[in-house]
Structure 1
Amino acid sequence: MEKPQTDRLKTAILLLAVTGLVVGLAAWFAGRADIASIVWAAGVVPALAALVVEILRSIGRGEVGLDIVAALSMSAALVFGETLAAAVVAVMYSGGTFLEAFAEGRARRSMQDLLSRVPRTATRHRDGGLEEVPLDEIAPGDRLLIRQGDVVPVDGTVASGTAFLDTSALTGESLPVRLSPGADAMSGSTNAAEAFDLIATREARDSTYAGIVRLVEAAQASKAPMSRLADRWSLGFLAVTVALAFAAWWFTGDPIRAVAVLVVATPCPLILAVPVALVAGLSRAAHFGVLIKGAGPLETMARIRTLILDKTGTLTDGRPQIMSVDSAGDLAEDDILRLAAALDQASKHPVAQAIVEAAKARGFTLPVPSDVAEIPGEGVVGHVEGRRVIVGGDGFVAARVGRMAGDHPATVAGSVLVAVAVDGHMAGHLVMSDPLREGAGAMLEGLRREGIARILLATGDRADVAERVTEGLGLDGLRAGLTPDQKVLLVLTERKHGPVMMVGDGVNDAPALAAADVGVAMGARGAAASAEAADVVLLVDRIDRLGPGIEIARASRRIAVESVVAGIGLSAMGMIAAAFGYLTPVQGALLQEVIDVAVILNALRALRIAPHEPALPNPRAVTSGPADISQGATP
């Protein structure tokens, strides 16, 4: 049954139960107790019938739910003539399920906001005019007009003017992000200023926002581990309830006490509080740019003890930058950069693309290379304007021009050298660096305050590069030169210290993300494979979002446990009081209704969790694409 139909059925059952209770009370006050009893029983029947159907379905799935207690209490009350108590239980139970649905709906509001903002069409430039086209007709390279107030429909680059994008729906960032021409714009952002042109870089179905929508839909369909735990405890709770009710009847000879015990036990707060609190946590985390794929990962995230971080694109910025251009011959620095960038147009490696972007940023016109040969992990060889050019690692280039490698010191922490040779002679070096993310140290300190006992770095880079980059961060361990399967082995080994979280962004991180108890992907820029394998996706290119995400997860779980402990504790005291005759069935039903409302309201506190925000500057732009420096060389 579809959710809207289910909600309408719950509403109808609640209205029937309330109508039966109110009309029956009116008849009772009018002195017609016989009619009141019939009306109360009639109001109970729809709720009891729906409950029995749901119980049978649960048993068919191999589940024993706590709803059995509610069915027993209503049935026992009807059998022993306590029709008013049965009517109150019917209103209580149907009202509880209705309130739960309402509370979950409110808790999901932030996620639904993401879904409701999906644009259906876009405005495209065509033949000197504008046309409105469906999203699935947009292709990479299309020039789109993004008007003020429009949601960016696909990932792209700003082509004209300066864009001010409101990313609050995706990240919780209150201030618009300023993007200069050439900067990457993430789909799902809202244009907060004047219109600008966007060059599409991806199709709509492959864009960031489309992936976010798919992840949100998957998250909404999840069921929390604590809810499953409640199901496993159902049989034990049912046995205790029935045993206490039978004992009260056996020792006193009064079946009404048994009815009162069953009524007070209906329904258990485990049914209501846990899903509401955890779904509220999912909604709150999404507000801060942390998309958790379900209540299960959120509950596990709250228990994490070990954190494993990838380096490139995760702990570091992942966008290699040219620190300097050093000439080793007669060529000028600009000529070295222009020739290297022209050849690197034929490579998709991040370092090569960074060189190309740096050259374009300086206004260079890049000729098309010819006779290009790429040696993966080493470098690129080809011709540019009739000159033979070699670009790659220092050792790779030096071996091809008859020189010794290592005659250029790379003094910047974590820097790598890209050598350039022209016509058989070493022309110079590009000194590049992948800088550590600003505020990374403060972020790690915050995670330790949240209870993370071990923080390790796992990277495929050389050990010396990784050590220089992470110097002073106080990591508990550094594993360099790892292959994807070795990262998986590290995750499995670290489980002896407790649940493990792995954070990465590349295709090579996907196996480790899947193996970890909680895998976290840098969704704004990371590879699609890592986002698919991960349990949590950071919607923006900011690793500092991880701290608020963990804090929200732990607070949500704590609120859920508090609600359960308080609710069950109060229910247990009420059951004992009913067994000793201090509560009538009607009084017990009213007491349990108060308890249920209280635990749901308490669970909704998760919507107001205010995590500690790191004081970091706004990112200048959100970019997309792979990020990996392999062995300090272009491919």
Structure 2
Amino acid sequence: MAEQHQDRLQKALLGIAVIGLASGAALWFAGRPDLARFGWILTTLPVLAALVVEIVTSLRAGEFGLDIVAALSMTAALVFGEELAAAVVALMYSGGNYLEAFAEGRARREMHDLLSRVPRTAMRHQDGGLEEVPLDAVEPGDRLLIRRGDVVPVDGTVASGRAVLDLSALTGEAMPQRFEPEDAVLSGATNTGEAFDLAATRRAEESTYAGIVRLVEAAQKSKAPMARLADQYSMGFLAVTVTLAWAAWWATDDPIRAVAVLVVATPCPLILAVPVALVAGLSRAARFGVLIKGAKALEILARVRTLILDKTGTLTEGRPKLVSVEVEAGFSEAEILHLAASLDQASKHPIAQALVMEARARGLALVPPEAAEEMPGEGVSGRVGGHSVLVGGADFVAQRIGPDGGNGTNREAGSVLVSIGIDSRHAGRLVFSDVLREGTHNLLSRLRGIGVDRIVLATGDRHAVANAVTEGLDLDLVRAELTPDQKVLLVLTEHKNGPVMMVGDGVNDAPALAAADIGVAMGARGAAASAEAADVVLLVDRLDRALPGMEIAQGARNIALQSVFVGIGLSVAGMIAAAMGHITPVQGALLQEVIDVAVILNALRALRIVPRSERQTAAD
């Protein structure tokens, strides 16, 4: 309601200014200058009154802004008989505020699009039929129908059929992705393929999209630190303005020159161009899968000099991946993968799930296992297609069919060896490892190219594992076997080298994320605690999304600084010209209006920032 009231007030003030200025001009040309001046006075007073109320409110809140200059210029113009100049300043002020509100609305449009896509109901299977239920009524385990064009309402897994989903609202990726049965699906994706069933795994308020919406709403309410920084210079700028106006009056004994200086120095919309640029940057970053929690975080992100990375789930994939297969004589790689993965469908162990995913990715047709029996933490036994199959640790398999003569395979630190037995024979071994994310070497190089001076790995894993994973990477420091409080200490220690960005995805990373100047969480699969503590959330499970986020932040900050320095520079030049008598008060008001509109439009360029990393990727 408050926003609607403010919007109506801005429209009313702008309407008064436009009608009053035009009516006065008509009276002037009709030969009634006295009525024209009176009309311009009536035009100025409501705008001036609203401005004074706003200034008093700001001062009570401890904020000091350049709106005071606008109030002084209108007051001085009325006192010294420059009613037309006062009316032009009133139009400039009200029009600038309205333009600013329009600009901020334009900058937030992409975020509003995100919010407007929140589904309110879901189609749930019930008693052999379908019923449309409120989203709050959906419980984990419910089976939902996702029709073509529907937005996935809750997190879940594909329960029937194959799903083709548009993830652009979450990740910024234009190409739809295919999901197989039992694949996890995030809420907020749009179904672009045929209808499919979704098995809900979370309630609506706990799902990914609901969390994203909450973060977006929080981001929209933030105030940019650069705007506060600009306000800190308000007193100095006001002092310069008053001094120059007084000097011009004193030197020439002409108060009109002082009025002209004050009118030219009215940069009220100018300072508001800073949050426009930063809010536009927030919106632009969201399109690339980077949710920044407010303008403060964006401004800091643009100045990062030290990057601290967690290992598991951040620098690495965070899940086991098959890296090598060793096959005994008499068996083929496809055969042992098919039989082992078919049996592992009966297990929820991460290694078993990784094997099943790998087999499916290779196009192997898995079959249901029979008489499957799992020994937690050891392995699984059962029958697949008439074969007796064992999958598990070397000891688990050896206890049942004897020692494995090939069990001396050399493995990297941190990898896991899985033995396979088929029909009482050793069939082969599978090596799983948490592998480095693809493109990490290039990513680190690009990060240094945009101003990151120092890159550090901080992990709770063993030294041998950390060294094996980071071999050949361009890192300045590797710290291993760290507890959460030791990670915090590392972050605090690195502050001496400049603003610190910490990237992590686990609960143990949350304290360090909160301690860093800017904390970045891997939000797709990371812990809720890390996403809550972080200032930035990567909506897709890819570390390289941090790069366009930083580039957009730098671009938005640069555009904001341009708006400030160019706008104030032009204003100062106009003030000097006015003090020398080259600009009248009316001309000064028109000149400042042009300057203000130009810097606001310049700030909106942040909506079109294209990160260098994305241009390079497109070129490749």
Do they superpose with TM above 0.5? Answer: yes
Judge conservation of contact 1:273–1:600 (CA < 8 Å) in 2. yes
Matched, 1:313 2:313: yes
Higher alpha-carbon deviation: 86-95 or 38-47? 38-47
The DSSP-based 3-state class of the residue aligned with 2:130 is strand
Aligned twin of 1:599: 599
C-alpha distance in 2, partners of 1:124/1:366?
A: 32
1:369 Cα deviation (Å)?
7.3
Aligned twin of 1:504: 504
Aligned pairs (5 A) from 1:236-315:
236-268=236-268, 270-315=270-315
1:306 Cα deviation (Å)?
0.9
C-alpha distance in 2, partners of 1:315/1:576?
A: 56
The DSSP-based 3-state class of the residue aligned with 2:274 is helix
Judge conservation of contact 2:264–2:571 (CA < 8 Å) in 1. yes
C-alpha distance in 1, partners of 2:86/2:57?
A: 23
Aligned twin of 1:225: 225
C-alpha distance in 2, partners of 1:395/1:508?
A: 32
Amino acid paired to 1:102: F
Query: Cα deviation per residue 1:279-300 (whole Å; 9 max; x = unaligned)?
Result: 1111111111111111111111
Aligned pairs (5 A) from 1:30-429:
30-268=30-268, 270-323=270-323, 345=348, 350=350, 354=354, 362-365=366-369, 408-412=408-412, 415-417=415-417
TM-score by length of 1: 0.86
Query: Cα deviation per residue 1:244-300 (whole Å; 9 max; x = unaligned)?
Result: 112222222221111111111112565132111111111111111111111111111
Amino acid paired to 1:219: A
Query: Cα deviation per residue 1:507-547 (whole Å; 9 max; x = unaligned)?
Result: 11111111111111111111111111111111111211111
Aligned twin of 2:492: 492
The percent identity for this pair of structures is: 68
Query: Cα deviation per residue 1:588-620 (whole Å; 9 max; x = unaligned)?
Result: 100000000110111111111111345779xxx
C-alpha distance in 1, partners of 2:168/2:296?
A: 26
Judge conservation of contact 2:445–2:474 (CA < 8 Å) in 1. no
Relative to 1, partners in 2 of residues 1:33 and 1:589: Cα closer, same or farther, differing over 3 Å? same
1:169 Cα deviation (Å)?
2.1
C-alpha distance in 2, partners of 1:297/1:250?
A: 47
C-alpha distance in 2, partners of 1:395/1:481?
A: 28
C-alpha distance in 1, partners of 2:566/2:414?
A: 53
Amino acid paired to 2:459: T
1:181 Cα deviation (Å)?
1.7
C-alpha distance in 1, partners of 2:218/2:43?
A: 37
C-alpha distance in 2, partners of 1:578/1:299?
A: 35
The Cα RMSD (Å) is: 3.4
Aligned pairs (5 A) from 1:474-489:
474-489=474-489
Q: Mind listing any 5+ residue stretches in structure 2 that lack a counterpart?
A: 329-334, 384-389
Query: Cα deviation per residue 1:162-215 (whole Å; 9 max; x = unaligned)?
Result: 211111222221111111222111111111111111111111111110010000
C-alpha distance in 1, partners of 2:595/2:617?
A: 43
Judge conservation of contact 1:257–1:581 (CA < 8 Å) in 2. yes
Query: Cα deviation per residue 1:549-607 (whole Å; 9 max; x = unaligned)?
Result: 11111111111111211111100011111112111111110000000011011111111
C-alpha distance in 2, partners of 1:316/1:98?
A: 48
Judge conservation of contact 1:111–1:216 (CA < 8 Å) in 2. yes
1:139 Cα deviation (Å)?
1.0
Judge conservation of contact 1:313–1:319 (CA < 8 Å) in 2. yes
Aligned twin of 1:445: 445
Amino acid paired to 1:511: P
1:222 Cα deviation (Å)?
0.6
C-alpha distance in 1, partners of 2:371/2:357?
A: 14
C-alpha distance in 2, partners of 1:520/1:3?
A: 31
Aligned twin of 2:332: none
The DSSP-based 3-state class of the residue aligned with 1:125 is strand
C-alpha distance in 2, partners of 1:495/1:194?
A: 52
The DSSP-based 3-state class of the residue aligned with 1:159 is strand
Amino acid paired to 2:183: A
Aligned twin of 2:534: 534
1:391 Cα deviation (Å)?
7.5
Judge conservation of contact 1:341–1:359 (CA < 8 Å) in 2. no
Judge conservation of contact 2:93–2:268 (CA < 8 Å) in 1. no
C-alpha distance in 2, partners of 1:21/1:326?
A: 86
1:319 Cα deviation (Å)?
2.0
Aligned twin of 1:18: 18
Query: Cα deviation per residue 1:110-162 (whole Å; 9 max; x = unaligned)?
Result: 11110010011111111111111111111111111111111111111112222
Q: Mind listing any 5+ residue stretches in structure 1 that lack a counterpart?
A: 374-378, 618-635
C-alpha distance in 1, partners of 2:369/2:6?
A: 62
Judge conservation of contact 1:258–1:579 (CA < 8 Å) in 2. yes
Higher alpha-carbon deviation: 77-86 or 248-257? 248-257
Aligned twin of 2:386: none
The DSSP-based 3-state class of the residue aligned with 2:219 is helix
C-alpha distance in 1, partners of 2:278/2:16?
A: 31
Relative to 1, partners in 2 of residues 1:59 and 1:119: Cα closer, same or farther, differing over 3 Å? same
Judge conservation of contact 1:293–1:536 (CA < 8 Å) in 2. yes
Number of aligned positions between the proteins: 599
